[in-house]
Amino acid sequence: MAVYTGLVEFGWTFIFQIINTIIIFLVLKKILFKPVREFMISRQKGIEDTIDEADTIHNDAMALKAEYEGKLEQIKEEGREIIKDARLKADEQGREIVKEAQDKASSMIKHAENEIERENIKAMNELKDEITSLAFMTAEKILRKKLDEKEHDELMRKFVEEVGETEWQS
């Protein structure tokens, strides 16, 4: 007895096909779907664990990055301090070198001035000696005929005293 209602024929064959489909479904559910479902759940749990682990690693990496950036900034600051200290030391050494050079130059100038003063005094003394000698020679020639020896000695003594008291200027 088969009833035709369009494309599907309702009969025993149709009922056996539905029963076979339900049995295959139950068998597949027991044998295939349950293990596949368990595999999918374990796979999902594994993926979630991997994601959690990746998040943990990412957070740790970010913490390390922040720590290293802090250390890097600290190192940069220390470098700036070292450079600042080096500049200050270099400036101080430069000032010391300039001061030493100025002191040395001042000492050399003072020494040169003293040497010039000594040479000036020496030249003045030599000049006095020369003038005295010339004056004596001139006076001697002039007075040789007119003065006696006693007057001659007195005149020379006065001349030497006057020349010695006179201040020589350069």
For the segment 49-70, what is each residue's pLDDT rounded down to a tens digit?
999 999 999 999 999 999 999 9
Q: Is the dihedral of CA 158, 160, 161, 167 positive or negative?
A: positive
User: Is residue 155 in a domain?
Assistant: yes
Tens of pLDDT, residues 104-125: 999 999 999 999 999 999 888 8
User: Is residue 5 in a domain?
Assistant: no
User: Is residue 52 in a domain?
Assistant: yes
User: Is residue 61 in a domain?
Assistant: yes
User: Is residue 158 in a domain?
Assistant: yes
CA distance linking residue 129 with residue 160, whole number of Å: 10
pLDDT greater than 90 at residue 11: no
User: Is residue 105 in a domain?
Assistant: yes
What pLDDT, on the 0 to 100 scale, is given for residue 169?
42
Residues in the chain: 170
Higher-scoring residue by pLDDT: 74, 161: 74
User: Is residue 6 in a domain?
Assistant: no
Q: Is the dihedral of CA 118, 121, 127, 128 positive or negative?
A: negative
What pLDDT, on the 0 to 100 scale, is given for residue 164?
64
Spell 140-162 as b/e; 16+ CB within 10 A means b.
eeeeeeeeeeeebeeebeeeeee
Tens of pLDDT, residues 82-109: 999 999 999 999 999 999 999 999 999 9
What's the structural domain count of the chain?
Answer: 1
Give the global pTM.
Answer: 0.41
Higher-scoring residue by pLDDT: 91, 142: 91
What pLDDT, on the 0 to 100 scale, is given for residue 163?
66
Enclosing domain of residue 31:
12-164
The encoded tokens of residue 147 equal 């003065």
User: Is residue 102 in a domain?
Assistant: yes
Contact 10, 2 (CB under 8 A): yes
What pLDDT, on the 0 to 100 scale, is given for residue 168?
45
